[in-house]
Every structure is written in C-alpha cells, then in structure tokens.
Amino acid sequence: MRCGDRAVTAGLDVFLTNIKLHEAPQLASDVFARIQILPGSGYRSLSPVKRRQWIEGTLAVLKASPNGATPPARRTVTAVRTVAAAAPAARPVQRPLAPGTPKLTAEEAARLGVDAPVHALKRVPFALAVKFDKLGVHTVRDLLLLFPRRHADYGDPVPVAHLEFGREQTVRAHVWSAKERQFGFRMRATEATIGDATGMMSCVWFNQPWIAKQLPTNAEIVVSGRVSEHQGRPKFDNPEWELWSSDLLHTGRLVPVYPLTAGLPNRTVRRVMREALDQYVRLLADPLPPEMRKRLGLIGIADAVAQMHYPADRAALEAARRRLAFEELLPIQVTMLLRRRLFQKSAPAEPMPMSAHVERRFKESLPFTLTGAQERVLFDVLNDCRKPVPMSRLVQGDVGSGKTVIAAAALAAAIENGRQGVMMAPTEILAEQHFRTLKDLFGANGGAGNVVSAYPPFLSRALRIALLTGGAKTKERQEVHGALERGEIDIACGTHALIQGGVRFHDLGVAVVDEQHRFGVMQRAALREKGSHVAHTPHMLVMTATPIPRTLALTIYGDLDVSVVDELPPGRQPVKTTWVAADERASAERFVREQVQGGRQAFVICPLVEESETLDVKSATAEYDRLRRQVFPDLRLELLHGRMSAKQKDAVMRRFRNGEADILVSTSVIEVGIDVPNASVMLIEGADRFGLAQLHQFRGRVGRGAEQSYCLLLAEDPREEARKRLELMEETSDGFRLAEADMEMRGPGQFFGTKQSGLPGLKVARLSDVKIIEMTRHEAERLLDADPGLTEPQHRALNERVRKLIDSVVDEEH
C-alpha cells in the first residue's frame, strides 16, 4: 500500500464527500467518525505515512463493524474504485458494494420500482452501468424501453442434415469436440464440431478462443446463424450459441438485436434484459386508460414491452409495436389538436365569403383553365374563408403545380370583403416573384415601383399592392407601413420584414405563408397577431412544395387542415433525367455548353459536404473556379452559397433570372421555389449524397418553361442505396412517390431534419403507419372532446407527456 491516492478514480476525497453527502444515514457511526477526523483539506493533504495510519484505522473499524457482512479490506477498496468511477461527482453515489450484500435494500428497491438505477439489477455491475449510461440508459425503465433495432429470426431448430446454405437457421446438437486454434500469426479462434442424429458440422468463432472452454464435450447446445458451405458441408461462422434450456435468449427464436456502444455486446444486453423483464416489467404504469385500450384492441404496456424484446412470434411483435406506436403518437396528436383548438377559440374570424360571380370572373380572368386538383383545393380554401372560424390550411403541391393562383383567390376574397391580405415568402427574390405574379393576376398593367395600383376585372374596385422587403429604403418602408396601417394598401407581399416590429395592418383578413418549412410555428403565430388589433384572427393559408407524405402531414401539421394539389397543369414535359457515370463527365459538360449556346441557361449544383458549411462553401468555390477557368472560360458564370448575405444571394439570383449569366453554380441553398423559365438543364454533382426529396426539389428548378429540360445526375461510384435513389429519379417525377420512398429509406427524421419536423425522435412509430396515425388522430379528438383539459385522473399520464412535448417544441422554436 503506497498510499498514493490512486485506488479511487478522482481521489478518495471525492468519494468520501459523496458518501457523507448522500449516504450518511446508512454509515455506521464509527465509520462516519473516521471520516470526520480527516482535516478539512482532505485525505489528499495528508502525508503518505499519515494516510496509511488513517486507512489502517478505518479498515479496522470496518472489519469490526456490527453488520457482519463487511468484506475483507482489499475488496472494499476495489468496490470503492468502481463506485467512484461509475458515478460522476454530481450524482448520488451508492454505498460500496460487496459480494453478497444487496445493491439496494428491499425498501429502496420497492420505493424506486422501475426508476431504480440499472445497477440495481443483479447482472449489472457498476462497470456495466457506465456503459449503459453512454446509451442514455440510467434506470431500469430506460433499459426496458431500449428496444431492439431488429430481430434476427433464427426459427426453431432443424436437423443438421436439413440445413440450407445461405439461410439463417438454428440447430440443436451435442458438442463432439471443441478446441482453441491458431489462425495465422495473430488470430486465435474456437473450432468446434457438433452433431445430431442426422449429421455433423463445424462451427468457428474467430477471436473468441475462450468459448472452447465453455463447450464441454457432450454438452447440448443451440447454435444459430447464417449457414455457409465448407467442402460441401454446412458450417457456422461466428454463430450465436447457448446451452440448451427451455428459455432461449440468443438462438432458436426471434432474437433481439440492440443498438450498441463498444463494450456492450448483444449477449450481455439480452441477459440483462431478461432479468429486467422478469423483475420489473409488471411495475410499468400504463399511460393508456384501460377503457381506451379495450376499445381499440391494444395490449397492455407490460406485455407490449416484453414482446418487443422477446416476441413469441411475428404477430406478437407487431401487436406490441402497434400498441407502443400508438402510445408514442397520441401525445403528439393531442398537442397539435390543442394548439389548433386554442387559436380557433381564442378569437373568432370574420367570415369573408367570395361571391359566386366574383369567383366565376376570377377564373375567367386567368390565362389558363384550372386543373381538377386546383379546383378542389380552391373549393376547400374558399369554403374555409366563409366560416367564422379562422382558416388554418396547408396547401401542398409539387413544384409547378400552380399553388399561387389559389393564394391569389384567398387574397381576392379578403379584398372583396373590404379587408387586407398579406403574402409572405422566405426570401426576397421569392417575394418579388410573387409580387410580379400578383400584379399580373390582379391586372396592374405596367405599374412599376414598390406600390402599384391594380384594376382586377373580377372586382368592382381598384386596389393597391405593395412589396415590402428588408432591402427597401427606410423612407419607402415607413411609407408602406403607414399606408398598411391606414388601410390604403390592400395586399402586401414580402419577407420576414412583414412580421417585424413596425408593421401594423388596418384589418388583416388573410395571411398566406409560402414555403412553409422555412417558417416555424411561432412565426406563423406572429404573423397572425399582426392582424389582431381588430378583435378578429386572420385566416391563414400555408403553402409548401415539399411533398410531404400524407401520414407525415397529419402528424407534423396536425394543427392544420391539409389540401393537396396533386396534378400538374397539362402540357408540362417531364424533365429528362439521367444518371451520368464519372467517366462521362466531359460529355455532360459538353451537353451543358450546347444548351447554353442554344440560348438557354444552366444550374450546376455542388456536392453536399455535410460536416460543415465552411467546407461546403469551399468546395463550391473550387468547383466554380474549375468550371470558370477550365471548362467554360467563354461563358458567364455566377456563384451562390450559404455564406453570402441575403442581399448578395438575391443579387446573384436576379442577375441569373434576368439572363445576365449563363450558368449558376450553387450549393444546396438553391433549393427553394425560384422560377427561371429559361433554365433548361441542371447538372447535380455528387448526386449520390443528396436525399430523394432534395434532388426532386433541385430538379423542380428546371422544366418550368414549355421546352424540354434535362437533369444530369453525376455520381462517381454510388453505393447500393444511392444507386436506388438515382434510378428512382430517372424513373419518376412524382414528388409524392419520391418522398414516400425517401422516408422509407431514411426515416422521417432525416427526411425533414428533426428540427424542422418538430417531431421528438420516434422510437417505435413509423410514419408509414397510416392506420395507427389516423387512429391516434381520431382518438385525440375524442379525448379532447370528453376532457378538454386532460384533468381527469385516468388522463394524468397523458397530460404529463403532452406538457413535456409543448415545452420541447417551444424550446426549439426560440
């Protein structure tokens, strides 16, 4: 004993302080006294000689301590080390453990129930608890809810003679021999021969020489794995195995496969999980009231959790998943509905019906006939406007599906009723684009400047339309503000500037928000408030081109009604899309040049560098330089990336739109809604790095004119999954199909970015679970009808979850 204060991680003092703090009542008084005699500056401040004296004295006290179970001194020190290592100083430290003593007293265990720390389990020593900690598993409850990523289906044992090469199968056999073997210079392995009445086979476990000792000759074992072939005979490489018993954990059934960190093998987790299930699963409280469960045919929480880990069969697993998915989605739906009910009740809206003759003349004034889908959505929107409840509708439609006219109709309804309308876009250039479109639709022939007068053929009066962006001069802006407040402007188009400080409306009837996913719920709320100095809440219309699968829309936009423009105007030519291999780059670039020489324009999208925006910008700049110097020295190129200010970006986009550049080289910032009809070709570098939804958004930038457009996807050597994406892009231009596929391949979090989706990481539910989502939606309505505040005792658990969700959503939006 050198008394170097090395035995305990972070030093003995830290440990002593913690046990004094948290465990004082459990300490024998003489042990406590030993701690107390240490100087205030701690054990560390003592000389090695003094340290030894103190330790020897303390050990003597511990040995003599009345509760007989006190372990030999060395053990205590070892235990102390693990304790201190396991528990960061801020957390309560458990008493030192010793073989034989329970880790928690019976009362403690009973009091904590499933909230007991994982090391309360017999099979979890502290060292293991540390590893669980890294997975975010602190309590037994956390552990029970650590669901497997998947299950390996090894099925019931089959005779050795019936094994089929290439399949995952199980045999139950006896060990004929098992020995350690040396492979090459370094590798040691276990090699075993096993057999049953029908034949024999070999098993090899690489790098696990110790298994040999666990396989005594004649032991009966069960082995599961993929069957490979060795000289015409079946063979298992690194199979799962265990001694035969009636309760198999690793083989011969649906075996759970967990998400893991290093040092936490599946075998260990399975064993620990079995103990946790046996001891604790019945203690989980069920947040779903029994009446609801019964009505909906959902199994209880304990069964569900148990079956998630060790399902009896596929059907049982599905029933468990269904129940847990429901439980996960219900609070989300309730939150969304609450939000919606709240604002609908908070203030009524003024009905603003559009009269039949105005509607007819509005449609007649358009340069085209509405598509069937546009007619349907328009009907929904005008219908909402008629009600004394504020409209809250999401209009979803693929790029180019013609959402803008629908927005225009809602604005027209407001104006017919003598009220104002506003249309908000995420960028200046898009706001300008809308301004131009509205000027056309409302008959502002040739008006210039930020505020124009229009004489729509479908209304009996003139009106004024304004553009308000951050780039406007202060004086102009103040003028527009004043005019808006006095009601001298009927329609305002703009960016965020519209919801900033000084802006007040005289009487806002409808607010349109374009490209929804750039705006959070809070911004929507701010916009709504702008109109509410009159006691009415404005109607709100949200538009997005992001093709959100219906199931996802129901969940994320549970607070909105959803209409879909699922048809493109006639005569659009689908963009011809081709995946181009690396060695065809030159010919792709030649094609771009031909298009430009034919008077068209081109986009070049640079590969995504996910690690950092700086790198992203760097690579885009390099690509721009390369193209400008080596490939297209005679053409006019522009560069666009995320590190440029909004003003710079807008200037670049404007030059490109006005035909002052031939090729726009851009990072992924180009994604949202810009319309350059003369652009006919898009070349996407590193196309394998982008998701389907994003590729589709890019592609939507071309093909907006009447002529044939092209999209070239450059990918060097795509992996299997990326290859599938590229092929799908070639095959279809249906945004919804692509979005569904994208979500299936990457999960909803990736699809939207967890942040934007506002979805807490879903553990069990899949957004392809249409039925369950609809069921939760329906149930949420029913629940809030019956108990609007969720105050009844059987709804307490749900209430808590909803409150947590609301808090987390609000956090994210600030």
Contact in structure between 497 and 526 (CB atoms under 8 Å): no
Let me know if 23 is exposed, middle or buried by CB neighbors in 10 A (0-12, 13-18, 19+).
middle
146 versus 653: smaller Cβ distance to Mg ion: 653
397 versus 456: smaller Cβ distance to ligand ADP: 397
- Where on the chain is the footprint of ligand ADP (CB under 6 A)? 368-371, 374, 397, 399-405, 545, 569
Q: Residue 540 binds what, of ligand ADP, Mg ion, none (CB under 5 to 8 Å, by partner type)? A: none
**Cα–Cα distance, 34 to 22 (Å, whole number):** 17
Q: Could you give the dihedral angle defined by the CA atoms of residues 642, 645, 648 and 650, in that order, rounded to the nearest 10 degrees?
A: 80
**Cα–Cα distance, 103 to 110 (Å, whole number):** 13
Contact in structure between 297 and 327 (CB atoms under 8 Å): no
404 versus 577: smaller Cβ distance to ligand ADP: 404
Cβ at position 518, least distance to Mg ion in Å? 12
Cβ at position 672, least distance to Mg ion in Å? 9
255 versus 564: smaller Cβ distance to ligand ADP: 564
Contacts of 183 (CB under 8 A, 6+ apart): 189, 206
84 versus 425: smaller Cβ distance to ligand ADP: 425
Cβ at position 385, least distance to ligand ADP in Å? 19
591 versus 656: smaller Cβ distance to Mg ion: 656
Cβ at position 369, least distance to ligand ADP in Å? 6
Cβ at position 800, least distance to ligand ADP in Å? 41
Burial 359-388 (b: 16+ CB within 10 A, else e): beebbeebeeebbebbebbbebbbebbeee
For residue 4, give the amino acid letter.
G
Within 665-684, which residues bind Mg ion (CB under 5 A)? 673
Cβ at position 152, least distance to ligand ADP in Å? 46
Within 589-608, which residues bind Mg ion (CB under 5 A)? none
Q: Residue 368 binds what, of Mg ion, ligand ADP, none (CB under 5 to 8 Å, by partner type)? A: ligand ADP
307 versus 404: smaller Cβ distance to ligand ADP: 404
- State both tokens at 247: 């309760």
Nearest to 341 by CA among 763, 720, 784: 784
Contact in structure between 720 and 641 (CB atoms under 8 Å): no
Cβ at position 239, least distance to ligand ADP in Å? 55
- State both tokens at 210: 């110790």
Cβ at position 552, least distance to ligand ADP in Å? 19
Contacts of 112 (CB under 8 A, 6+ apart): 104, 120
Tell me which residue has its CB nearest to Mg ion: 673
Tell me which residue has its CB nearest to ligand ADP: 402
For residue 537, give the amino acid letter.
T
Q: How far is CA 394 from CA 209, 311, 335, 539, in A?
A: 62, 41, 18, 12
Cβ at position 528, least distance to ligand ADP in Å? 22
For residue 590, give the amino acid letter.
R
Q: Residue 400 binds what, of Mg ion, ligand ADP, none (CB under 5 to 8 Å, by partner type)? A: ligand ADP
**Cα–Cα distance, 754 to 595 (Å, whole number):** 39
371 versus 523: smaller Cβ distance to ligand ADP: 371
103 versus 403: smaller Cβ distance to ligand ADP: 403
Q: Residue 270 binds what, of ligand ADP, Mg ion, none (CB under 5 to 8 Å, by partner type)? A: none
Contact set with Mg ion (CB under 5 A): 673
